[in-house]
A and B are shown apart, each in its own frame.
Chain A
Amino acid sequence: MARDSQAALVALNRFGFGARGGTSGDLINAASDPRGFVKAELARPNGVLLEAPGLQSTPQLGQAVFAYQDQIKQAREAAAKAGTPTETPPPQAEQKPGLRRNLSLNTVATEIAGQMAEAKPFDKKPSDNKPSDNKPADNMAKPDAMQPNAATPAAAKPAPQPLNVIQKTFRAEALARLQRATLVECGFTERLVVFWSNHFCISASKGELARIWAGAFEREAIRPHVLGRFADMLRAVEQHPAMLFFLDNQQSLGPDSRAGQNRKRGLNENLAREIMELHTLGVGGGYTQEDVTSLARIITGWTFAGRQGQLGAPGSFVFNVNAHQPGPQMLLGKSYEPTGLAQGEAALADIARHPSTANFIATKFVRHFVADDPPPALVARLRDVFVKTDGDLKALATALVDSDEAWKAPLTKMRSPYDFVVASGRLLARVPEDPGFYLNNLNLLGQPLWSPAGPNGFADTSAAWAAPEGMKLRLDIAAQMGARLGPNIDPLDLLEFAAADAASIETRKTIERAESRQQALALLLMSPEMQRR
C-alpha cells in the first residue's frame, strides 16, 4: 500500500476531528491524498450550514424566552395571590440582562441545573445493541455512580423538574453540533466553525437569552461565513442579538441621543472595546481609548427588539435611532458621517480590512492549527492572502492547507477537551443521541460548551490543556469510556483506524499488553496519537 500514514494523521488530526472508526476508511483515504482529503470539504460551502428539525431562528427563540418568563411571572403572581409558594420557580428565571459580563458560578450552576439527563458515555449505534453495553465493568463505576457524590444539599432537592424551553434548546443545539462533528468526513470545516465561534465567542452563562441563543448565534452568524468573507462574518456577529446581549450593547445609549437624554444613561464601551481588542485589530493594533469610545458611540442603537416588540419583531436585531449618538465620529483617523446604521457598518467594514486585523487573524489562525509559536513565514503568507483577497476565509483556509509548514510541523498541539471528546466518539463510531455525556465532560475538563469565562474565548495553547489535573481528568474519562465500551471493541483494530503504522511502537505495545480490553481502550484514547494534533 503506497500511503503516507503520517501525513494522514496530519490531515485527520491537525485539520480535522480525527479518523472515524468502523467502515469509514478515513485513514486510508487520507493517506492516499492528504491535501485533497482536507480540501474536499472546502468545495462544499453549503455543507457548513447546520439545519436540523426543530432548530429555530434567533427571534423565535427570543420570543420563546419572553413567553417562558411571562409564564413564570404569572405563575408566581397567581401563587402569591393564593398565598402558596410556587411549585416551579425555574432557577434562572428573572435574569436581568446585562447583570453580569463574566461568569459567576452560582448562575452557571443554577442555570444548568435540571438540564442534564443521565450521563451515558456516548449513545449506542442502533445496530450495536448488545446487552453487555449497559453493564459497567467491575472495577469501574458507571457515570451514574457519580451521583452519590451529589449527596450534598443540592441533591436534597425534590424530584427534577422537566427541562424548560431554554434547557431543551441548548441541548438540541449541542446535539446537532456534536452529531455533525461526529459524522462529517474529515471535519476541517467543523474545526473552522469551532475556531471562528471561539474567536467571536459569546458565553451562554450570561443569562437566559445567551443560553437559548448560543447555538443559533453560531448557525446564523458564524457558519454562513466560514468559507465566505471576514467582513461579512464580523457584521453578522456584531449585529447578532446574542453578541449585543453578551457584551451589553443593548444597554449602551448615545449620551446625546433622545433615549440617553430622557433616561440619563449613556455609553457602555464593552462591545466596542472587544470588537477592536479581540475580534479584529488585537491589542497593540493601533487603536486608542478615544477610538474605543468613538466606536462605542458609533454602534449605539445596535440592539434587539424586546418583548413588547416596539422596535421590531421581538428578539430580532434592530437599529434604534433614538438610542444612537447623533453626529459624525472620528475613528482610527477617519471621520464617519452620521448615517445611522450605515455609520457603524462602514466603520466595521474598514476595521475588517485594517492591516492589524489581517495580522491578528493570520497569527491566531496559524496558532490554532499549526503551533503555539506560529511559524512567522506562514503567518506572513496568510496575512498577505487575507489582505489580497479582502478577507476571503476560504482562501485563507486553502492557503493554510497548501502550505508546507502545516504538514511539516510536528503534531505538538494538545487536543482541546472538545476535540478530545469528539475524536473519541468518532473513533468509537458512536453517534450521540443525547448530549449529556459530552456536556458533562466538557464542563469537567474546563471547556463548557459555548460558555467560556470571558470574551476572549477558550485558551488555544497546549499548556492550557495539558495541565496536571486536566490530564488526570482526561484519564478518568477515558477509563470510563473504556469500562463502558471496551468489552465490545478490538483495541488493535481501533489503533489501525486511528493511526495505523503512524502509531509508535510503544503505543502499540502498550495497547497489546493491556490487561483488558477496557484498559486497552482507555490507553488508546489517552495515547499521544489521540491527544496530540
Chain B
Amino acid sequence: MIDCVENRLLTSRRGLLLGGASFAAWAYLPKFARAADGRDPRLIVVILRGALDGLSTVAPVGDPDYAGLHGSIALTADGAHPAILLDSFFALHPAMPEFARMYRDMHAAVIHAVATPYRDRSHFDGQDVLESGYAGPGRVQSGWLNRALEALPRGERVSSGLAVGPTTPLVLRGNAPTVGWAPVALPQADDDTAMRLVDLYRHRDPALASALSQGLQLEKVASGDDMKPKPGNQVAQMRQVARGAAKLMAADDGPRIAALAFDGWDTHANEGGPVGRLAFLLGGLDGALAEFESGLGDRWRNTVVVVATEFGRTARINGTDGTDHGTGTIALLAGGAVKGGRVISDWPGLKLANLYEGRDLKPTTDLRSVIKGVLQGQFGLSDRALAETVFPDSASARPMKGLVV
C-alpha cells in the first residue's frame, strides 16, 4: 500500500489545485435585479492560468498569414485531425467537440482578438489584471466578480455545508463572503476540539477564527457524497471539479455565481497542434463545460459560463515548437443563456504590420466589455456600477450588447 498515500492525497484536495482546478462561490443567494422576470440566472467564471493560445483554440484558418505564423502547430480544416469550422473564417480546435455542439445549438460563442487592458507579459501581473478588474497590476485586494456581487442585493446565506477551498481565486476575493469546495481526504479533528480552537481564536486571533469557522462549517455536507476525486489525468480532474461545482450550483439553495481556475496553459515548448499538450488541456476544458451542462440540468438554460485567460501567446511559434507570452487571445461563452453560434471579432489580421509589437495578435476588443455585457445581461447591473466599482475607470469599455438571451 506504500504507493497510495501521497498519490491519493495529491489527487484529492490540493492536488486539484495543482492539477489546475479550484472552485469558489458566493456565500449568499443573491436577490437578482432580474427576479421580476422569473429567471434565476447563474454565472460561472473559468480562469485559464498560464495564457491560452487563442490562435490555436479558435484558429483563423481563413487568414492567409495564419498557417505560416503558427507553423508546425497550426490547425487546418482538413487532414487527419481537422479543425471544426465555426464559420467561413474561424475553426475550432478538434479537441472541443462539446463546445462545437453547443455552438451549433446557438448556446456558445467566441470572442476573438480580445485582451484585458494589460499590455505587458508577466503571468502574475496579467492574472492580477484579469481577476482584479483594475486597469493595471498591483491592486490585488479584491476581484471584479466579488465587487459585482457586492452590487447585487444580498439574499439568504447558503446553508448547505461545503468546504471552503484552500485558495479562492482573486476574481472572487473581496468583501462579499464566499464559499468553496474541495474534496476531503484526512481523518478529521472532532467537533469539540474544533470548537475549542475557534473559541480561542475568537479571543486572540479573529482572522483565524473567521477562516477556521468557515472551513469547519462547510466541510460537512460535501463529505459522504461521491464528489471525492478519482485518480486520473488532468482532464479527468478538470471534469471532476466541474461536476462537483455543477452539483452544488444545481441545488435550490446552491450558489448562483462561481469561479474556477484551471492551470497549465503556458505552452512555451512542444505545444502541439490538433493533438498534443494543448489539445489535451482543451479536451479537459471541453469536458468541464459538458459537465456543467449536464450537472446543472434545467438550470443550464439560465447559465452563462465565461472562459478567460490573462493574455494570449505569440502569433509566430518560437524556436521550440511552442509560443511565448503574447497579447490578444480569445474568450469563450457557453450556456443556455448565451446568444451563441457566433464568433464575435473585429479581426485585426495577422500581417506583420497588424501584429501588436510585431509579434502578437492585436487586441481589438476589451475583455471587460465582454464581461460587462454578460454581467449586465445576466444580472442587470448598471453601466455605472460596472464602470465605477466592478471595473474601475473603465467607462471607455462599454458593455457589449446582446451576449445574453
Chain A residues near B (Cβ < 8 Å): 96, 98-106, 108-110, 112-119, 139-141, 143, 145-147, 149-150, 152-155, 157, 160-161, 205, 248, 251-253, 255, 260, 265-270, 273, 277, 283, 289, 292, 436, 439-440, 443-446, 448, 451, 453-454, 456, 462, 464, 466-473, 475-480, 482, 504, 506-507, 510, 513-515, 519, 522-523, 526-528, 531-532
From the candidates B17, B120, B188, B325, name the one contacting A476 in the complex (CB within 8 A).
B188
**A residues less than 8 Å from B7 (CB atoms):** 109-110, 112-114, 116, 150, 154
Interface string of B294-321 (1 = CB under 8 A from A): 0000000000000000000000001111
Contact check, A252 vs B189: say whether CB atoms are below 8 A apart: no
Which among B204-212, B242-250, B373-381 touches the partner chain? B204-212
Contact check, B187 vs A146: say whether CB atoms are below 8 A apart: yes
**A residues less than 8 Å from B185 (CB atoms):** 146, 149, 444
Interface string of B1-30 (1 = CB under 8 A from A): 111111111110111111110000000000
From the candidates A105, A292, A453, name the one contacting B10 in the complex (CB within 8 A).
A105
- The reply on B219 being an interface residue by CB < 8 A is yes
Which among B90-98, B103-111, B232-240 touches the partner chain? B232-240
Cα distance A265–B204 in the bound complex, in angstroms:
60
Closest 8 CB pairs between A and B?
A: A105-B19, A266-B319, A472-B215, A468-B164, A479-B189, A468-B215, A141-B187, A154-B231
**B residues less than 8 Å from A255 (CB atoms):** 319
The range of chain B's interface size is: 35 or more
Contact check, A466 vs B211: say whether CB atoms are below 8 A apart: yes
**A residues less than 8 Å from B192 (CB atoms):** 515, 519
Measured CB to CB, the nearest residue on chain B to A139 is B190
Contact check, A468 vs B16: say whether CB atoms are below 8 A apart: no
**A residues less than 8 Å from B122 (CB atoms):** 277, 283
**B residues less than 8 Å from A266 (CB atoms):** 318-320
Q: Give me 6 other A-B pairs in contact (C-beta within 8 A), A283-B124, A507-B200 excluded.
A: A153-B232, A283-B120, A467-B164, A470-B167, A527-B200, A528-B204
Contact check, A252 vs B320: say whether CB atoms are below 8 A apart: yes
Cα distance A160–B6 in the bound complex, in angstroms:
13
- The reply on B193 being an interface residue by CB < 8 A is yes
Which among B36-44, B61-69, B261-269, B336-344 touches the partner chain? B261-269
From the candidates B16, B219, B266, name the one contacting A101 in the complex (CB within 8 A).
B266
Interface string of B322-335 (1 = CB under 8 A from A): 10110000000000
Contact check, A283 vs B9: say whether CB atoms are below 8 A apart: no
Cα distance A533–B343 in the bound complex, in angstroms:
52
Contact check, A473 vs B166: say whether CB atoms are below 8 A apart: yes
**B residues less than 8 Å from A443 (CB atoms):** 6, 9-10, 14-15
- Which residues from 166 to 209 on chain B have a C-beta closer than 8 Å to any C-beta of chain A? 166-168, 180, 182, 185-190, 192-194, 196-197, 199-201, 203-205, 207-208
Contact check, A440 vs B230: say whether CB atoms are below 8 A apart: no
Contact check, A98 vs B320: say whether CB atoms are below 8 A apart: yes
Instruction: List 25 interface pairs A-B (beta carbons < 8 Å), by A numbering.
Output: A104-B19, A105-B16, A109-B15, A112-B10, A113-B6, A114-B2, A116-B6, A119-B5, A147-B5, A152-B8, A205-B18, A248-B268, A248-B320, A255-B319, A268-B319, A443-B14, A446-B167, A453-B17, A454-B266, A470-B166, A471-B211, A472-B164, A476-B187, A510-B196, A528-B204
Cα distance A268–B197 in the bound complex, in angstroms:
51
Contact A112 to B187, CB < 8 A, known contacts A118-B1, A268-B318, A468-B215:
no
Measured CB to CB, the nearest residue on chain B to A414 is B208
Contact A152 to B15, CB < 8 A, known contacts A468-B214, A531-B208:
no
**A residues less than 8 Å from B158 (CB atoms):** none
Measured CB to CB, the nearest residue on chain B to A456 is B124
Measured CB to CB, the nearest residue on chain B to A277 is B122
Contact check, A504 vs B204: say whether CB atoms are below 8 A apart: yes
